[in-house]
Structure 1
Amino acid sequence: MAAADLRALFSSNDPSFDANEAFTNREHQWALVAGALEQHLRRTGEPGFDVEDLETPRTNVIVFHGVGGVGKSTLLRKIEAALTAADQRPAQWGAPSWTERLLPVRIDLARSAAAGSDFERVILTIRLALAGTPGRPLPSFDVALRQYWEHTHPGEPLDEYMRRTGLMGRFATALPHQLQTAVSEAAALLQLPGGATAGQVTGALAQGLRERRERARALAGCSHAAALLEATPDLEALSYYPHLLAWELGQLPAKHKVTPVVLLDTFEETADRHRDLERLLQRLVYLMPNVLFVISGRSRLAWADPALHGQLDWTGPTVWPGLAPGAGAGAGGRQRLVGDLSPEDCNDHLARRLVQDGRPLIEPGVRAAITARSHGLPLHLDLAAARFLEIRRTGRTPEPADFDCTFPALLARILSDLTPEERHVLRSVTLLDAFDLDLATRAAGLDRQAPARRLAERPLVSENPYALWPYHLHGAIRSAVHADQSEDRWTAADWHQAAGRALTALGEQWTTSSATATGRMLLVACLRQGLRLARDHRLTDLGWLTDAAHAYTDDSVWEPLAPPAGGPGAGGGTRDATAGGAGGDGTGPETAADALAELLTAIARRQHEHRARTAERLTAVLDTGLLNRELTALALYYRAKAHKDLGHTQESRTGMQRVADAGGRLAPKARRGLANLARIAGDFPAALAAVPTLGWKGRHHRVAGDIHWPHGNIDQAVAAFGAARAEAEQHDAPGERAIAQVRLALALAFADPVRAGDELDLAHQLLAPLDQRATTLLAHIAALVKDAGDTGADVPGRAHGLRREITDAGLPWLSRFLEIALAFHHAVRDEHQDLADLIDRLHTLTAGGDFAYFTDIAAAMGDLPRPPRPTVRWLDGHDPVRERWHALVTDRRDRLNASF
């Protein structure tokens, strides 16, 4: 019995208790993997092992669980490296005892959200890893997978899908060929006519298996192969195909034998109330008993819980003996905690920590309060359990409010062996979410790093060597330090001065950094911490934060920026910023830091909010009068952009003109905004005349491209957008590069759909790490233009879905682009009535004058009469524009006819 259990036992007359393992180290975690792998290889090598046995308990899974950020992903990457090459294995892990060939396959489940697409990615990744395995092919699985792909993704080549979803690797080009080869060879062996489809081959193969023909059994000897091949090739069937793959792996000759080790990272991303993706992944694990799976997630894997019966296919401790709670950490236990406890495990620990008459003594509300305050720290949980017993001894029932506290004992243990200098550094870094030695030293106001280095070596500081700032304090420890009542505790003035030092140190790190690879990352990280410090400690001098705010908005990347809602406050208090408004009490910003935080949040959140909401938030910030002159210009500029997106042209023009007239760093952008407004109004000569005055900061090449493509001058537009992209690359501006690339693809889509497809692929790659809602929607519109005239592309149906997204985003200007894409489609297909109806719709959408020239373009596409509207000021007159657009339609029609 553990010492902590004895203390609890002697604190009361009646409770009994239990406790979970709280901490392990990576050496022990590797020992678990190595031991499980040895057992797995020994079991699968036994003569009686049968992959088709569907009743034997499964022991082919290991689980590492713990709170986010404690190194689970890093651990899996190290395990993958250690299994790949001996020289990648840490020396303390020792040499393995096995000699068999292993194939580690690590899959990050956080990359997709949809269950179907995510599970497809898992299956394809595993098969892709096996594409380089020599020896006997995998015919039955490959034929089934090919049939599934043709049925579920008609018209979409597998290699294009892998490129689009990032499933590229050493054997990416081999996999589609291997699948097609399997179908072709199976067709030949079954004596089918040339050109047989995967569906025809699977049908013939299934029939041959039912009739016990030797040729069919040579291809697929698995007893369940016929049933799987006959099943409708949908996602449900795909989840059972791993049974075929497991059988195929078992048939490999001894010299080509390989044991896959599949590492599934961030398993918590599968969690939903229906467990849809988890059910598919559990089938994968269960149906491949000759594959070892290593899973990491935030909570224990609950497959051994009988309560999940019906939600998952196989549940209970009999099926998964190594996953049962009572399995422990020995040879039979296959679940290991990494670092702190997850909230679910905190609750479970507290429920089992004190028990009376077989039921948890600590009621759910109190458990929830303790869990929230503990930040997963096991010591905090134990101290809270002791406090619970102390309160009960007074005759009062403990309440959740009793645990909204820190424990002096926890802080006493922390401070007891620290030197005075280390204590000083500790208090200083509690102001920071993360830090390095230089930041800690400067925040503490010291002239040497030694105290910070010594503190970083203490177990109370966690280290992530891959992070921008490698060190961070545990959340519960930070709270305890701020509630410090020790003799050498800090006063409110001490905390305020330390916050000022920390803010200055953050600014110095950002302004002196010259590492372009981490420049953007460092900017965002400094802003997050700096905004919180200035807000929570009411620092009046924003200093470098103004420059950082402009740098943040310069490149249209829009990482989430809002600082935590309730950071530690001076003297141990916290500000509650959850009630509403940046000020935290529903009254809006109270300080300049509040106003700046709200300004940047409103600008970034416009990618996820209706533009009307953006304009409203920015107006509220401007009305506070808390922003300095430069930040006021920033708010005015982005409010003007929101008005432009909403179609409020006059309000947008007024705002842009104010910013341009004021000069300053945003003047070039404001002049660009005015040029764009002139273009939107149909005054192309005025817009073009402004281009030479804009320069890089005014995105002159992009503005020129936006002027040329409505004229049908596709070559000039593509050249301008290409120059814009190149200039963005020179300035290391990924956001602008993505915008230019999407517009290049849009212009090119009218003239060269094949090349436009390649450009769109690149556009989506550039957009993937960004948060640009309008540009992403424009890329989808460009895809419609590329597919215009293709009857199988469902252009109208896709346009209908896009129209809803555009409306929800509050981006009415994009609806004009959507209609012009549909107009191109109807014109190419000679659908005159549909085109006439669309022109009427465009006429209504452009009644205010914005984008009125789109009705001229749509009419020109179908060679229809020009609508009666105010004259557009084209660069070279209406007739040449009309001829160019009609020629583009004719050329697309000829392309489509030539393809049949």
Structure 2
Amino acid sequence: MADLRALFSSNDPVGSSEAFTNREGQWNLVASALQEHLRHTADPAFDVEDLEAPRNNVLVFHGVGGIGKTTLSRKLEASLADAGDRPAQWGAPAWAGERIVPVRIDLARSTGTDFEQIVLAIRAALAELGRPLPAFDVALRQYWEHQHPGEPLEEYLRRGGPASRFGRALPQQMQSALSDVAQALLLPGTVGSAVGQVTGSLVRALRERRQTVRALAGCARLADLLEAEPDLDTLSFYPHLLAWELAQLPAGKKVTPVILLDTFEDTDDRHRDAERLLQRLVWLMPNAFFVIGGRNRLQWADDALQGQLDYTGPAAWPGLAPRAAQPARAAGQGGARQHLIGDFSETDCDTYLAHRLTQDGTPLIGPDIRAVITQRSHGLPLHLDLAVARFLEIRRTGRTPSPADFDHTFPALIARTLSDLTTDERHVLRSASLLDAFDLDLATQAAGLAHQAAARRLVERPLVTQDPYAIWPYHLHGAIRTTLRTADDHTEDRWTPADWHRAAERTLAALGRQWHGAGGRVTGRALLVACLRQGLRLARDHRLDDLGWLTDAAFAYTDDSIWEPLAPTTHTPASPGAEPQADPDTPADALAELLAAITRRQHEHRARTAERLTAVLDTGLLSGELTDLSLYYRAKAHKDLARTDEALTGMRQVAEAGGRLAPRGRRGMANLARIRGDFPTALAAVPALGWKGRHHRVLGHIWFPHGDIERAAAAFEAARAEAEQHDAPGERAIAQTLLALVTAFADPLRADDELALAHQYLASLDQRATTFYAAVAALVRDAGTDGDVTDRAAALHAESTSAGLPWLTPLIETAVAFHHAVRGAHDDLATTIDRLREVTADGDFAYYVDIATAMGDQPQHAGSAVRWIDDAHTVREHWHGLIIARQDHLRGTQ
């Protein structure tokens, strides 16, 4: 359909096209395509075993999330299954008398549907035929016995999944098919229950062209499929057998499966492995009709995918190719089979804009302008339309449009959005635009209303999308939200800057109430992080000086060493007409930078962390407690950088301040005393530390250098138990990793188990230093073997050094010394001890030199200043005893 506004905008001829459809139009597309499919499969020339003919048995609806693709898919399934569920305006289809079997399968990752379940669901839906489909059923039974030995199919279906929605007669029909084949082959009854013997006999009969199996002999590829390894790849070719069996049904029993695959975008992966299996399913069942719903256009007709998928190009999929790319021989075979519904993807935005205005077949809107419009539109078709209108207006003035002309929002978009909303709904909408996501309670409190009715009505409108699995299920369309916050809507009840500021204060307070109200819920940590992300952005963008609950949330965030990325967004204008903020100059800015520096230290050099924290402290914008937080983590960075004096100064400041971080400051001082080899001072500090000072962990760090592995392990086990008691997974992972490290010196078999558990705990966390501890534990576990210990140690040393963690170097060298001592490699041990003396020359971790010499039973260095709790002789006996025990262990395993 031509755009008349474009046509009359200029004396120059401008071509245009439209691309919008509606629900009734989508039903008409399905009805038309399905009718054409039925005519095609009824043609005597149609051959279900033809693997070279183009495929036109698929229809695609694509669009952005939340636009109604799933609802449409469900309505199509219901309408095809029962005419009574069909909306009256859709009208009756033209295939009266044809038997249609709809099979809807949701491919969303949350459903856990895999390819095996898809194949089972299709076959289970066809169980309503009331008869086995022998070629397919025997092959599927063979696959099942191989992949699920001892697991009855009935039990599998009973547990749920897409196949469980359909008939439960599938297992009986499969067994019936197996028995029928056994009987045809004249096999004994006991043999007939053994699928392997049946399929083996069937293959031989097919190869020998016996008359007893003439019913199956017409399936040319059955024998090859039965001989193939029954794995997932082979299963993906079984749909050919299902299609063949459907083609053998007598005229009165014919059925056409209509398979609706929803949420197709969740099959996406880098190598298109899942998509390849699904495409194979579609190709091998040319007598079935597929309706695919997803966020993106199917690319099967793109020649560039050759090698990634089995069947590609416009010749293979004429209905999926752009009209210009369809081969001449596909004319009259369905035309375009891909239809956009709702919002546009970035690719579709660009395509739409390129084709919307053309001149002599060339896009009038250039790629640079299209890119800006696409980014600003968030896929909203209305934004694209307004941008096209603006392009025409500028062009009509005689000026050439530029990208900068489109780097803004359209007040007209908001005017149209607000036009049919009530006053309260508009109030909630503006308040909700301050939030990335919200629920009814949060939106209502942000708006300052007493009742949720307006919020409830708002979320039912199409400008709000929903994710039921998110913490806050609702969010505004990106283009609408951006425009609300950055453009004057010119309505009578529009907000002033003061209105926006008060709304931001209400919203920040509401987020705080939600976080405090979480209590001990399982989702408490996730809610904390979500509230911090939104709260920090609100406080920054609207320059809110009273941080309130954000201070408590910041301490809660740092308590457990999990380090989820907060990544508060960059400054956006606080209200329409305001300018973006420049450098951090508010308490909220300083807090955001403080948390970002603490979190990013897992991915930055510790020197960079110290610099960032110093810069935050220099602003003077942090409160007393937040200043302590910054001082503490800067002191930790100094400790990691081997700047022991600076670290001790910072820890002492935090401890003497007496705030909530004082126990951590005292722990830091105890650890620094231990690092300097003053173990009695470190031990004396433990009783005052408590849980907040991680007393058990400090104690384990003290006993470990003494070679008292039993007491060190007990301390780390107690630390892990206390962490579990306080629901602190980050601390639990640290304690478990340290437990693996110390046990690795005494018992490599136990260490293997402890290390596996440590990796399990660390998998969902972001703790780089703890991960390095785990790597050292693996080195010690493998000490004395040919496990490439020295090369791995060198790589670990390089990696930890580049991360700004030189304090790990003495521990890594000690692990290498342990390895050489166990192997009796005295020269290598001496070299390692020399390196240890060099890296501990400043006195930090000097006790590792004494430990390494004890391992090799070499004389103790005369200048040792280590203050042991036990006497030095006992410490040496402990470490040398561990070497002898490992040597005995390795001899026992040979």
TM over 0.5: yes
Partner of 2:504: 499
Offset at residue 679 of structure 1 (A): 1.4
Tell me the TM-score normalised to structure 2 length.
Answer: 0.75
The alpha-carbon distance between structure 1 residues 318 and 566, as it changes in their structure 2 partners (threshold 3 A), is: farther
Partner of 2:567: 562
Deviates more, 1:53-62 or 1:522-531: 53-62
Deviates more, 1:97-106 or 1:774-783: 97-106
In the alignment, is residue 512 of structure 1 matched against residue 517 of structure 2?
Answer: yes
Match of 1:803 among 791, 797, 803: 797
Partner of 1:688: 683
Deviates more, 1:556-565 or 1:7-16: 7-16
Offset at residue 295 of structure 1 (A): 8.8
The alpha-carbon distance between structure 1 residues 611 and 129, as it changes in their structure 2 partners (threshold 3 A), is: farther
The alpha-carbon distance between structure 1 residues 536 and 140, as it changes in their structure 2 partners (threshold 3 A), is: closer
In the alignment, is residue 489 of structure 1 matched against residue 494 of structure 2?
Answer: yes
Offset at residue 303 of structure 1 (A): 3.6
The alpha-carbon distance between structure 1 residues 224 and 820, as it changes in their structure 2 partners (threshold 3 A), is: farther
The alpha-carbon distance between structure 1 residues 351 and 453, as it changes in their structure 2 partners (threshold 3 A), is: same
1:299-310 to structure 2, matched below 5 A, reads 299-307=296-304
Q: How many angstroms apart in 1 are the aligned matches of 2:305 and 2:652?
A: 63
Q: Helix, strand or coil: the match of 2:475?
A: strand
Could you tell me whether the CA contact under 8 Å between 1:735 and 1:770 is conserved in 2?
Answer: yes
Partner of 1:759: 754
Q: Give CA-to-partner distance per residue, 1:634-676, whole Å, 9 cap, x none.
A: 0000000111111111100000000000001000011111111
Q: How many angstroms apart in 2 are the aligned matches of 1:91 and 1:731?
A: 55
Q: How many angstroms apart in 1 are the aligned matches of 2:870 and 2:245?
A: 75
Q: How many angstroms apart in 2 are the aligned matches of 1:605 and 1:136?
A: 54
Partner of 2:314: 317
Q: Helix, strand or coil: the match of 1:609?
A: coil
Partner of 1:863: 857
The alpha-carbon distance between structure 1 residues 406 and 103, as it changes in their structure 2 partners (threshold 3 A), is: closer
Partner of 1:235: none
Match of 2:639 among 634, 641, 644: 644
Q: Helix, strand or coil: the match of 1:517?
A: coil
Offset at residue 824 of structure 1 (A): 2.5
Partner of 1:736: 731
Q: How many angstroms apart in 1 are the aligned matches of 2:18 and 2:593?
A: 44
Partner of 1:719: 714
Q: How many angstroms apart in 1 are the aligned matches of 2:418 and 2:503?
A: 19
Could you tell me whether the CA contact under 8 Å between 1:262 and 1:294 is conserved in 2?
Answer: yes
The alpha-carbon distance between structure 1 residues 788 and 517, as it changes in their structure 2 partners (threshold 3 A), is: same
1:425-504 to structure 2, matched below 5 A, reads 425-482=428-485, 483=487, 484-504=489-509
Partner of 2:816: 822
The alpha-carbon distance between structure 1 residues 672 and 285, as it changes in their structure 2 partners (threshold 3 A), is: same
Partner of 1:170: none
Partner of 1:843: 837
Match of 1:539 among 537, 544, 547: 544
- Which one-letter code corresponds to 1:624 in the other structure? T
Match of 2:385 among 370, 382, 387: 382
- Which one-letter code corresponds to 1:444 in the other structure? A
The alpha-carbon distance between structure 1 residues 309 and 221, as it changes in their structure 2 partners (threshold 3 A), is: closer
Partner of 2:397: 394
- Which one-letter code corresponds to 1:898 in the other structure? G
In the alignment, is residue 17 of structure 1 matched against residue 12 of structure 2?
Answer: no
The alpha-carbon distance between structure 1 residues 21 and 617, as it changes in their structure 2 partners (threshold 3 A), is: same
Q: Helix, strand or coil: the match of 1:513?
A: coil
Match of 1:413 among 412, 416, 428: 416
* Identical aligned residues as a percent: 59
Q: How many angstroms apart in 2 are the aligned matches of 1:21 and 1:59?
A: 23
Partner of 1:701: 696
Could you tell me whether the CA contact under 8 Å between 2:854 and 2:876 is conserved in 1?
Answer: yes
In the alignment, is residue 768 of structure 1 matched against residue 768 of structure 2?
Answer: no
Offset at residue 324 of structure 1 (A): 2.4
The alpha-carbon distance between structure 1 residues 250 and 845, as it changes in their structure 2 partners (threshold 3 A), is: farther
Offset at residue 376 of structure 1 (A): 1.4
- Which one-letter code corresponds to 1:379 in the other structure? L
Kindly name which structure, 1 or 2, has the bigger radius of gyration based on alpha carbons: 2
Q: Give CA-to-partner distance per residue, 1:426-463, whole Å, 9 cap, x none.
A: 22221111112221122112222222222222222222
- Which one-letter code corresponds to 1:689 in the other structure? A
- Which one-letter code corresponds to 1:683 in the other structure? D
Offset at residue 886 of structure 1 (A): 2.5
The alpha-carbon distance between structure 1 residues 736 and 65, as it changes in their structure 2 partners (threshold 3 A), is: farther
Could you tell me whether the CA contact under 8 Å between 2:512 and 2:531 is conserved in 1?
Answer: yes
Partner of 2:887: 893
The alpha-carbon distance between structure 1 residues 281 and 811, as it changes in their structure 2 partners (threshold 3 A), is: same
- Which one-letter code corresponds to 1:503 in the other structure? L
Offset at residue 126 of structure 1 (A): 11
In the alignment, is residue 852 of structure 1 matched against residue 846 of structure 2?
Answer: yes
Unaligned runs of 5+ in 2: 88-97, 123-135, 148-203, 210-220, 247-256
Q: How many angstroms apart in 2 are the aligned matches of 1:250 and 1:313?
A: 15
- Which one-letter code corresponds to 1:663 in the other structure? G
Offset at residue 570 of structure 1 (A): 2.1
Offset at residue 336 of structure 1 (A): 6.1
Offset at residue 749 of structure 1 (A): 1.9
Q: Give CA-to-partner distance per residue, 1:475-530, whole Å, 9 cap, x none.
A: 21123223122232111111111111111111122122225212111211111111
Could you tell me whether the CA contact under 8 Å between 1:384 and 1:403 is conserved in 2?
Answer: yes
The alpha-carbon distance between structure 1 residues 137 and 645, as it changes in their structure 2 partners (threshold 3 A), is: farther
Offset at residue 844 of structure 1 (A): 1.6
Partner of 2:199: none
Could you tell me whether the CA contact under 8 Å between 2:663 and 2:692 is conserved in 1?
Answer: yes
Partner of 1:812: 806
Could you tell me whether the CA contact under 8 Å between 1:523 and 1:552 is conserved in 2?
Answer: yes
1:158-237 to structure 2, matched below 5 A, reads none
- Which one-letter code corresponds to 1:305 in the other structure? D
Q: Helix, strand or coil: the match of 2:461?
A: coil
Could you tell me whether the CA contact under 8 Å between 2:465 and 2:475 is conserved in 1?
Answer: yes
In the alignment, is residue 340 of structure 1 matched against residue 331 of structure 2?
Answer: no
Offset at residue 609 of structure 1 (A): 0.7
Partner of 2:186: none
The alpha-carbon distance between structure 1 residues 97 and 515, as it changes in their structure 2 partners (threshold 3 A), is: farther
Could you tell me whether the CA contact under 8 Å between 1:29 and 1:336 is conserved in 2?
Answer: no
Q: Give CA-to-partner distance per residue, 1:37-57, whole Å, 9 cap, x none.
A: x99xx99xx99655xx87455
- Which one-letter code corresponds to 1:460 in the other structure? L
Partner of 2:157: none
Q: Helix, strand or coil: the match of 1:472?
A: strand
Unaligned runs of 5+ in 1: 112-120, 145-208, 215-219, 230-239, 272-276, 577-583
Q: How many angstroms apart in 1 are the aligned matches of 2:119 and 2:874?
A: 54
Q: Give CA-to-partner distance per residue, 1:717-774, whole Å, 9 cap, x none.
A: 2221121111111111111111111111112222222232222222222222221111
Q: How many angstroms apart in 1 are the aligned matches of 2:208 and 2:358?
A: 63
Q: How many angstroms apart in 2 are the aligned matches of 1:865 and 1:266?
A: 67
Could you tell me whether the CA contact under 8 Å between 1:708 and 1:714 is conserved in 2?
Answer: yes
The alpha-carbon distance between structure 1 residues 91 and 353, as it changes in their structure 2 partners (threshold 3 A), is: closer
Q: How many angstroms apart in 1 are the aligned matches of 2:883 and 2:223?
A: 54
- Which one-letter code corresponds to 1:317 in the other structure? P
